[in-house]
Structure 1
Amino acid sequence: MKLAVMRHAYRGQRAQTAGTGAAIGVVLAAGTAYLGYLNPDWLAAGLAVWMLGWMLGPVFMGGGDETLRPEYFALLGLSPRKLATGLLAASFVGVAPLVSLGALAGLLVAGVRLGVVNALVAVPAMALQLGVFVLLSKIAVAVVGVALRSRAGAVAAGVVNGVILSSLGQIWVFMVAFGVTGTPAAVWWAPSAWGLRAVRGEWTFLLALAALVLVLLALWALLLGRRAGRPRVSGRGRRPITAGTAAGAVVAKELRTWSRDLVRNHQLAFALAYGVWFAASPLILGWNGMLPYAGPIFIVMAAGMASNLYGTDGTALWLTVMTPGATDVRGRQLAWVTTQGAIAIVITVVCTSITGGPWPLVLALLAALLGGAAGLVPLVSVYALVPGTDPHRRSGNPLRTSEDEGGLTGLAYLMLALVLVTGAPAGIVAYWLGWPGVVVGLATGALCYWYFGRLAARRLTSHGDELLDTMRTGRKTGRKVEFAHLSKARKNVAGLGFGLGAIPLFPQGVVALLFLADGKADASWFLATYLPAPWNYAVAIGFVLLGLTMYGSALWAVRKRPEADRITA
């Protein structure tokens, strides 16, 4: 069944995305296997990274591989243990397990170097180690699914995920703080290294791996039984919405959704935790230069989380489409600013007060990004809507709001880039001129809020039927970018621009400028910080222009040309 589903599912763009991911995975797996020849300490560390990837990746990507869901077998009367065993066997069919098995070939390489017996032990160790990886992934997703059945669990999961992802983004802080001098002893005690220890002669760890697989299988079976339950619905009465206008009704509905929907609770908590921890983690090194930017970072991440705002409605979008003149876009904008803006203002004021500034730059970014995000959230959602799953049809992990995980990820990254662009003019003026940048930020924020909202409302009115059909069928209709019809040169330009444009624009450009503004020198891998003035600023600005040029070139490459329209017609 798994093979049949994969054979029909991986076609077109989805097959290309899977192929690209598989190619990258093969390269990483080959590098990990080569570590078995170079150094066992490095192999242990590499396998620990693979284990973390199996545990955290599916959680952040919306549930991982659920080609076969437990709900499909509900009428067969299988016990949770039998169901878990069958699903575990099916989980080994796929690209990710095969690539991971290639990485685990490092155990075989290490065993061959030690002797025949060690090489023979490596074979079952590889299989058991892969079983541990897959089961840890399943348990991580199941635990999140159980946690997200309550508002407290959704918030807690959002905080944990936000802290973990922001820590990975600021990994240089922890590398500098704790040093990178060899492999920590804890790596050798992690389950990811038990197979390697067995290959190196500690045979009891092979038995420990087998026992761990059985324990994890039993735990997953228990969690599968919990998955069948339904969230408890409160029996308390709810105050009716008594708004006097159509826009007021939309605002009230959206505010209730932001406070009650578990997915939005998780998204808000995730963005808040990410922004605060990302800006506060350099305090470990005694540097508070990023702390004032916690609020702007929160706004950018919150916008990325809400990039598919209309898509999360599911087929309930028909209520909006069939109510003309309801000013739905303006109502959603106001509700988004009310919920996210209040939090961003409090964070910004508190964090900037701790450091004493820079007030003009921070306030300019706050105003520009808040207005830009409030305008872009509905605009991106209606122009690049990703078909969502109706809330009552979602899988055991409520975070999986769509079957098109790649589309959601790409949409989120696009939103992050666009929101940052809306804050660039105000940030540049505030950096060079000070308080006039705040005026620019208020002006650009208000303009983006009004104009982008107007475009979104027009799009919703003119293409509402197409959006609803996309939501209902999962197939996009109407005018869209056809990458298959692009020339090879244009495909390369688009791929390089969209795929790599963020590297020079943000880390080497925007972040480097922030470091230079705070007098931070020799800051990890930011090239501009290693250069003397005025070349450091020139290089950082050059990277910003390079990133913008790459994104602009990519947009130019995929634009719809009139001659192409005539040929297609």
Structure 2
Amino acid sequence: MAVAVTMAAMKVAALRHSLRGTRAQLAGTGAALGAVLAGGTLYLAFGDLDLLAAAYAVWLLGWLLGPVFMGGGDETLRPEYFSLLGLKPRELATGLLFAAFVGLAPLVSIVALTGLVIAGVRLGPGNALVAVPAMLLQLAVFVLLSKVGVALVGLGLRSRLGAIGTGLVNGTILAGLGQIWVVFWALGQTGIPTAVAYLPSGWGLLAVRGVWWAIPALVALVLVLLGAWAALLTRRLGATRTSGSGRRPIRAASPGGAIVAKELRTWSRDLVRNYQLTFALAYGVGFAASPLLIGWNGMLPYAGPIFVVMAAGLAANMYGTDGTALWLTLMTPGARDVRGRQLAWLSVHAPIAIVLTVVCTAITGGPWPLILALLPALLGGAVGLVPLISVYGLVPGTDPHRRANNPLRTSEDDGGLTGQAYAALAAVAATAVPAALAAQWFGWAGPAIGVATGLLSWWGFGALAERRLHSHGPELLNEMRTGRKATGARSIQTRFDQLPTGRKAIAWWCFGFGAIPLFPQGVVAAVFVANGMTRQSWFLATYVSPGLRYPVAIGFAVLGVAMYAGGTWLVLPKRTKRQGSRPTPPTEAL
């Protein structure tokens, strides 16, 4: 117990000193969103308890999937820090479990689980007393399932088959959550299945409702998960890296050809990239196919474009993920690194996207002009913006040979990676807007516009990235080595940190919520209207009168663009007027 208390105190001290600047802003945003979700869960506790059980199932999914998508979860205290202390596996696991209860996510979750107490008070005094231990045990189940899930994913990522399988499973689950309205629609027709209440997420509620075996089952599950986590920690601490199987040496006739060959070899051997590729593929297919559950195949043709956008978001930290290997590029005269990486990225992703798009669109019979306009525009936007975002918004990453203990953690700055990924998703999707509008208004002129904008994005954004890499290559390498910006460098993140509190909050809202009016309420709603689909879920344009549908969708899209433009305007430095050519007096200079 002394070890557990000490680790919890260490976690408190670490958080107290680390929650500053960007981390504090992200924590504040997460706390606000968590408070909204917890409040909604508490509201359900005053109504139908079956809905409360379904809500806790969603919380469990969040605990399972959130750390996987955030680079391995919270590792403020890593098991490796204590490997030389001689602690027994179960003692180490118990101490890390106590430390895991310290943080924002457990605090928000315990607030949401207070719904068990509310439900207990409604049912009777005895039920309310049972609710307190049930609440604590349920939180322990959430935390331990998260830890075991992350450990299993990390273990799977040590083999190519495991990385592919993990990517497929996680991508499919996240796609299902992204299309949760399909589930709500189906549940609205059939009701919540009884089995939801008997999932581990609902055992605490079962205990409150008087089911005698629920509390012992929670205790047993906590002990089993604790033992499993202890075993996985032992496996992690004893893990050793093994070299890949022998391959033929890379041969190329030019520096650019060597870059393409190196990138293709990396895509075939790097397990993290294997995971990202299969994750994006599973997400695209799952997101587009989910509405088939309610008999609608209208989203199926968009599987390929969705795959491209998600793949771009995952690859947005292209240079940061490679770590300090950038020195090889800087020491190779004449190497056009960005162009080589662009060609390799297209070689890997374009065939998959084309086959997926053609097959899915052929199944539904169209809309061919729109789909053939979106695909080249998105491919060009992705292959141009991915290196550009990486060199301008680089997040220092962990060198690949140092990821063995936690392959999911490719960077120490999870918040920076998340923001970078969202920026890439929004920017790449925005490059397809002109082609989509042209296809809607002018039919087969859309594909030509899509090809033109795709080529322009590939060439223009790639040229900007190449110029940045050549002019700031040493600074980028220094940042990846040290994690700090070079002296005098003023990135967008630096300027953002220096904004006044009010402008910073407005910028956060613009960047954080601009995607909602731009894509769901704007672009997607316009697609629904074009296909004659009305009264679709929460897409406002599908509910208004026919003459207002397109104006409402376009208005939302303009609002989204305006929000992103406003946030950018707030972050960009303001130009100051020069005072003429009068030389500065020595006294003023001093």
TM range (shorter): over 0.9
What residue is the counterpart of 1:15 in the other structure?
24
CA drift at 1:528? 0.8
Cα deviation digits, residues 169-201 of structure 1 (max 9, x gap): 112223323435544311221122222222232
Amino acid at match of 1:439: A
What residue is the counterpart of 2:443 in the other structure?
434
Q: Secondary structure at the match of 2:398?
A: coil
Does 1:273 pair with 2:282?
Answer: yes
For residues 183 and 276 of structure 1, the distance between their equivalents in structure 2, rounded to whole angstroms, comes to 26
What residue is the counterpart of 1:529 in the other structure?
542
What residue is the counterpart of 2:527 in the other structure?
514
Moved more, 198-207 or 398-407: 198-207
Does 1:224 pair with 2:233?
Answer: yes
What residue is the counterpart of 2:55 in the other structure?
46
CA drift at 1:123? 2.1
Moved more, 454-463 or 120-129: 120-129
CA contact (8 A) 2:239 2:404 kept: no
Correspondence list, 1:533-544, <5 A: 533-544=546-557
What residue is the counterpart of 1:247 in the other structure?
256
What residue is the counterpart of 1:491 in the other structure?
504
CA contact (8 A) 1:69 1:395 kept: no
What residue is the counterpart of 2:385 in the other structure?
376
Amino acid at match of 2:107: L
Moved more, 137-146 or 524-533: 524-533
Amino acid at match of 2:335: A
What residue is the counterpart of 2:375 in the other structure?
366
Cα deviation digits, residues 18-58 of structure 1 (max 9, x gap): 12212332343344334334343333222222222111111
CA contact (8 A) 1:144 1:397 kept: no
CA drift at 1:130? 1.3
Does 1:315 pair with 2:324?
Answer: yes
Change (3 A) 1:325 1:258: same
Change (3 A) 1:388 1:564: farther
CA contact (8 A) 2:168 2:282 kept: yes
Equivalent in 320, 330, 339 of residue 339 of structure 2: 330
Moved more, 445-454 or 331-340: 445-454
What residue is the counterpart of 2:105 in the other structure?
96
TM-score (norm 1): 0.95
Q: Secondary structure at the match of 1:240?
A: coil
CA drift at 1:436? 2.1
For residues 473 and 408 of structure 1, the distance between their equivalents in structure 2, rounded to whole angstroms, comes to 17
TM-score (norm 2): 0.92
Change (3 A) 1:242 1:432: same
What residue is the counterpart of 1:503 in the other structure?
516
For residues 37 and 395 of structure 1, the distance between their equivalents in structure 2, rounded to whole angstroms, comes to 47
Unaligned 5+ segments in structure 2 are: 1-9, 580-588
Cα deviation digits, residues 354-398 of structure 1 (max 9, x gap): 222222221121111111111111111000001111223336431
Does 1:187 pair with 2:200?
Answer: no
RMSD, matched Cα = 2.0
Amino acid at match of 2:534: A
CA drift at 1:524? 0.8
Amino acid at match of 2:296: W
For residues 567 and 209 of structure 2, the distance between their equivalents in structure 1, rounded to whole angstroms, comes to 50
Moved more, 72-81 or 371-380: 72-81
What residue is the counterpart of 1:555 in the other structure?
568
For residues 34 and 520 of structure 1, the distance between their equivalents in structure 2, rounded to whole angstroms, comes to 33
Does 1:260 pair with 2:269?
Answer: yes
For residues 295 and 211 of structure 2, the distance between their equivalents in structure 1, rounded to whole angstroms, comes to 43
Correspondence list, 1:379-398, <5 A: 379-394=388-403, 396-398=405-407
Change (3 A) 1:439 1:402: same
CA drift at 1:65? 1.1
For residues 422 and 31 of structure 1, the distance between their equivalents in structure 2, rounded to whole angstroms, comes to 36
Cα deviation digits, residues 101-128 of structure 1 (max 9, x gap): 2222222223333444333322222221
What residue is the counterpart of 1:142 in the other structure?
151
Does 1:80 pair with 2:76?
Answer: no
CA contact (8 A) 2:21 2:497 kept: no
Does 1:350 pair with 2:363?
Answer: no
Change (3 A) 1:30 1:352: closer
Moved more, 32-41 or 554-563: 32-41
Q: Secondary structure at the match of 2:431?
A: helix
Change (3 A) 1:113 1:522: closer
Amino acid at match of 1:188: A
Does 1:237 pair with 2:246?
Answer: yes
Moved more, 510-519 or 470-479: 470-479
For residues 83 and 426 of structure 2, the distance between their equivalents in structure 1, rounded to whole angstroms, comes to 43
Amino acid at match of 1:157: T
Change (3 A) 1:328 1:421: same
Equivalent in 205, 214, 222 of residue 223 of structure 2: 214
For residues 69 and 295 of structure 1, the distance between their equivalents in structure 2, rounded to whole angstroms, comes to 39
For residues 127 and 256 of structure 1, the distance between their equivalents in structure 2, rounded to whole angstroms, comes to 48
What residue is the counterpart of 1:306 in the other structure?
315
For residues 106 and 471 of structure 1, the distance between their equivalents in structure 2, rounded to whole angstroms, comes to 45
CA drift at 1:483? 2.4
What residue is the counterpart of 1:473 in the other structure?
482
Pairs aligned (count): 567
Moved more, 76-85 or 127-136: 76-85
Amino acid at match of 1:381: S
Unaligned 5+ segments in structure 1 are: none
Runs of 4 or more consecutive aligned structure 1 residues displaced over 6 Å after TM superposition: none
Does 1:455 pair with 2:464?
Answer: yes
What residue is the counterpart of 1:205 in the other structure?
214
CA drift at 1:149? 0.9
Identity of aligned residues (%): 67
CA contact (8 A) 1:505 1:547 kept: yes
CA drift at 1:349? 1.5
CA contact (8 A) 2:255 2:332 kept: no
Moved more, 94-103 or 448-457: 94-103
Change (3 A) 1:392 1:291: same
CA contact (8 A) 1:29 1:100 kept: yes
Amino acid at match of 1:553: G
CA contact (8 A) 1:324 1:461 kept: no
Q: Secondary structure at the match of 1:310?
A: helix
Amino acid at match of 1:151: R
Amino acid at match of 1:52: L
Does 1:68 pair with 2:77?
Answer: yes
Amino acid at match of 1:203: W
Amino acid at match of 1:335: A
